[in-house]
Amino acid sequence: MSVKSVTAVAPGKINVYLRVGPLGEDGYHTVATIYQAVSLFEEVTVTESDDFSVRFSGPIDTSHLKVDESNLVIRAARAVAAASGFAGGARLDVVKSVPIAGGMGGGSADAAATLVAVDALWGTNLGAARLSEIAATLGADVPFALHGGTALGLGRGDVLSPVMAKSALHWVLVVNEEGLSTPDVFHQLDRHREEHSIEIETVAVDPAVDAELLLALRTGDAAALAEHLRNDLQAATLQLMPSLGETIEFGETHGALAGIVSGSGPTIALLAADENSATHLAATLVANGRKAMCVSAPVQGARVM
Ligand code: C5P
């Protein structure tokens, strides 16, 4: 008898806008963020099995990733089994292309691809709304990896509304060998805010998004968007990894309209005027010894192939 398997993909993301409110009692900060899914994908193949296991492969080094029950993809698959009453398991094979601990939601994309893949493999048909609820229990960025496109995230980043983004934007990602831990970056921001509470603007309890940024996305005006990119985690990320400041500056003096730290970093997202300019910028960065790649955005969320 042949063994059934299903393959799904889910995109990595960048945050073109991220305002961070105060730390709540649940250990999370309220945020107002605009996510954009980019054309760099994680691929997960799930195969019928009696128990749960995960293996990683792909173009990036995955040797240090834990493959025990604490792994987010196993937790994602188990959550679908629990929600549907399904009694079996699955072997989960993940091909990773999104940088690990890079601020691009790679682990969240793995979880989102796993949710749709096991739901299809097992025929549990939980539906988009239920999968999205499960996604939010796995991590703040997981619902967005399911959803894809361009979206506003409120709450922890998991309360999503779609945002109109008409035409394709071209980004150059500059990837770092070393990763940064998301909790470490949020802690650094809290420390910085405590130490500089007099100088910095009052932290909004309910952060909101910039209307001009939404307009720039709607009209596909890259030059206007460049004026309104914002990431409140950027200062904290640069304190933990000062060399990133040079990367942004290098990008901005070699053709990027603007550069920003993606999420909690350390990946840098450089916005290009068009596809040609992105290709040229990436080549310049690579010639300068940096690891860079071109992506376009927005792209669809998690889907079965
Ligand atoms: O939900 P996720 O596992 O992605 O979050 C990782 C950590 O990042 C949280 O435990 C928290 O420390 C921090 N975080 C936060 N506020 C958010 C999202 C994440 O403080 N909105």
Whether ligand 1 lies within 6 angstroms of the CB of 156 is answered as yes
Residue among 19, 20, 25, 186 whose CB has most ligand 1 atoms within 8 A, to mutate: 186
Q: Which residue puts its alpha carbon closest to atom 21 of ligand 1?
A: 156
Residues recognised as catalytic = 13, 141
The verdict on the CB of residue 88 being under 6 Å from ligand 1 is no
Atom nearest to 183 CA in ligand 1: 12
Structural domains of the chain, with CATH: 5-164 (3.30.230.10), 169-297 (3.30.70.890)
Q: Is the CB of 207 under 6 A from ligand 1?
A: no
Give the pLDDT confidence score for residue 242 in this predicted structure.
Answer: 97
Identify the pLDDT of residue 300.
97
CB of 140 within 6 A of ligand 1: the answer is: yes
CA 185 to ligand 1 center in whole angstroms: 10
Counting ligand 1 atoms within 8 A of each CB, the residue from 30, 110, 182, 262 with the most, and so the one to mutate, is 182
What are the residues whose beta carbons fall under 8 Å from the beta carbon of 79, sequence distance 6 or more? Answer: 115, 134, 137, 138
Q: Which pLDDT belongs to residue 204?
A: 74
Cα–Cα distance, 67 to 39 (Å, whole number): 26
Question: What tokens appear for 169 in the block?
Answer: 């934007």
Distances (CA, A) of 298 to 37, 75, 89, 272: 5, 28, 33, 14
- b/e burial code for range 131-159 (CB count within 10 A of at least 16 → b): bbebbbebbbbbbbbbbbbbbbbbebbbe
Instruction: Give 237-300 as a DSSP string.
Output: HHHH-THHHHHHHHHHHTT-SEEEE-TTSS-EEEEESSHHHHHHHHHHHHHTT-EEEEEEE--B
Say yes or no: CB of residue 13 within 6 Å of ligand 1: no
- pLDDT at residue 207, as a whole number: 79
pLDDT along the chain (305 residues), means of 10: 92 97 93 97 98 96 94 98 97 97 97 98 97 98 98 96 93 96 96 76 76 96 97 97 97 98 98 98 98 98 98
